[in-house]
């Protein structure tokens, strides 16, 4: 345009020049935008202010969660502590489904058990990829109070039948307890009783050996 704002070329000429330019640069590499008649100013839309940065997409996401009445940090977290809580929220969501399966399979077991001679219960352990190590450790600590020995192994992914079969194979077939003896401690075990030997060297001093576990009896001196 000239200084008065009028077009230097008429509309037909401007159209022909524009179409010709487009035809010339149609297959040009690296050319995305063509402007033939106008003063162009480049505008930098990148955000250089980190303190007062505005993310329009974050506003939209927050609006969606606010409209549902749910905090976006439940399933879309930013920090490591929030991520741990988000995983717990995911597990709690799936827990209801596991309980429904538990009730369903118990109904099936009761229906199949027509004789009622034995009472069976079907149970899902609430283990996930994130908590199975912790639950296995807790189940192991409960065995000290006389609880089930199956739960730690089942929490680690072993079946009950494989646990029983492996224990019988190692103890009865391979007789591993007679070959692989755990480290002995003088305060808790008596090596002579475990190995089946007697103390025959010390004949001058009386030293009684107990038949069970525990420290051997020491002389009075």
- The whole-angstrom separation of Cα 199 and Cα 220 is 17
- Output Rg (C-alpha) for the chain, integer angstroms: 39
- The whole-angstrom separation of Cα 218 and Cα 221 is 8
Where residue 42 falls among pLDDT bands split at 50, 70, 90? confident
* All structural domains of the chain with their residue ranges: 1-41
What pTM did the predictor assign? 0.43
With tokens 């283990």, the residue in question is: 127
With tokens 């103890």, the residue in question is: 171
Confidence check: pLDDT of 142 > 70: yes
- Residue 138 CB coordination number (10 Å): 13
Higher pLDDT, 76 or 17: 17
- In DSSP notation, 8-67 reads SS-HHHHHHHHHHHHHHTTT-TT------SS-----------SSS---HHHHHHHHHHHH
- The whole-angstrom separation of Cα 130 and Cα 155 is 12
**pLDDT 10s digits, 57-106:** 777 877 887 887 777 766 666 666 777 777 787 888 888 888 999 999 98
The mean per-residue pLDDT over the stretch 175-190 comes to 72
CB 7 within 8 A of CB 14: yes
Where residue 210 falls among pLDDT bands split at 50, 70, 90? very low
Count Cβ atoms within 10 A of the Cβ of residue 168 and give its class: 0-12 exposed, 13-18 middle, 19 or more buried: exposed
pLDDT at 200: 47
């Amino acid at each position: 345009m000239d200084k008065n704002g009028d077009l230097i070329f008429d509309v037909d000429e401007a159209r022909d020049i524009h179409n010709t330019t487009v035809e010339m640069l149609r297959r040009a590499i690296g050319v995305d935008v063509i402007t033939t008649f106008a003063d162009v100013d480049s505008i930098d839309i990148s955000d250089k202010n980190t303190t007062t940065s505005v993310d329009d997409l974050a506003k939209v996401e927050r609006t969606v969660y606010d409209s549902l009445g749910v905090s976006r940090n439940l399933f879309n977290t930013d920090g490591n502590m929030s991520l741990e809580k988000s995983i717990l929220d995911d597990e709690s969501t799936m827990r209801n489904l596991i309980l429904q399966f538990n009730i369903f399979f118990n109904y099936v077991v009761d229906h199949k058990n027509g004789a009622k001679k034995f009472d069976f219960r079907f149970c899902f352990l609430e283990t996930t990829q994130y908590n199975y190590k912790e639950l296995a450790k807790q189940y192991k600590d409960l065995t000290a109070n006389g609880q089930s020995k199956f739960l730690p192994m089942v929490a680690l992914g072993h079946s009950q039948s494989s646990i029983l079969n492996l224990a019988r194979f190692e103890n009865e077939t391979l007789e591993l307890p007679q070959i692989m003896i755990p480290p002995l401690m003088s305060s808790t075990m008596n090596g002579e009783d475990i190995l089946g030997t007697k103390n025959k060297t010390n004949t001058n001093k009386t030293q009684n050996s107990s038949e069970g576990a525990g420290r051997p009896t020491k002389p009075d001196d």
